[in-house]
């Protein structure tokens, strides 16, 4: 396995770990609520914030992982590892930005940077997969 492949696989694994940790955080908060609502609607409710952080990761992480592994299988370019690192950083920054916000009603710089990074790396990885397949 090349260094590029190793970096890509480790980033994919860490993206998976991030997703599971976000899910465990939701479980932790649900367990501590007792009889309170498990389906909050207040954008400042920590459980809703945790649910959305996990849900948002669940929307993007699996696709990023699949595309990265496809790219790694089709190409051995250094840019695959760079995109994998960028995707991991973007998703981590987004999660931290969400979990440290006091309300989902307002965007913060970490959340926005993570979202933009996710979009940019996702498109770049998708285009890379197409070009590598041709």
CA distance 60 to 127: 16
pLDDT tens-digit readout, 61-80: 999 999 999 999 999 899 99
For 16-25, the CB contacts below 8 A with 24+ separation are 16/61, 16/65, 18/57, 18/61, 18/88, 18/91, 18/92, 18/95, 19/54, 19/57, 19/58, 19/61, 19/62, 22/50, 22/53, 22/54, 22/57, 22/95, 23/54, 23/58, 25/50, 25/53, 25/54, 25/99
Q: What is the pLDDT of residues 3-52, one digit of tens each?
A: 889 999 999 999 999 999 999 999 999 998 877 778 888 999 999 999 99
pTM of the predicted protein model: 0.94
- Fold for 3-133, please state it: 1.20.120
């Amino acid at each position: 396995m090349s260094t590029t492949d190793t970096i890509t696989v480790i980033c994919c694994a860490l993206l998976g770990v991030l997703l599971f940790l976000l899910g465990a955080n939701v479980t932790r908060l649900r367990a501590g609520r007792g009889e309170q609502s498990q389906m909050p609607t207040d954008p400042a409710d920590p459980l809703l914030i945790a649910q959305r952080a996990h849900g948002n990761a669940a929307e993007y992480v699996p696709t990023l992982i699949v595309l990265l592994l496809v790219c790694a299988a089709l190409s051995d370019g250094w840019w695959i590892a760079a995109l994998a690192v960028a995707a991991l950083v973007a998703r981590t920054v987004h999660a931290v930005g969400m979990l440290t916000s006091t309300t989902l009603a307002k965007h913060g710089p970490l959340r926005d940077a993570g979202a933009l990074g996710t979009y940019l790396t996702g498109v770049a990885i998708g285009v890379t997969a197409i070009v590598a397949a041709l």
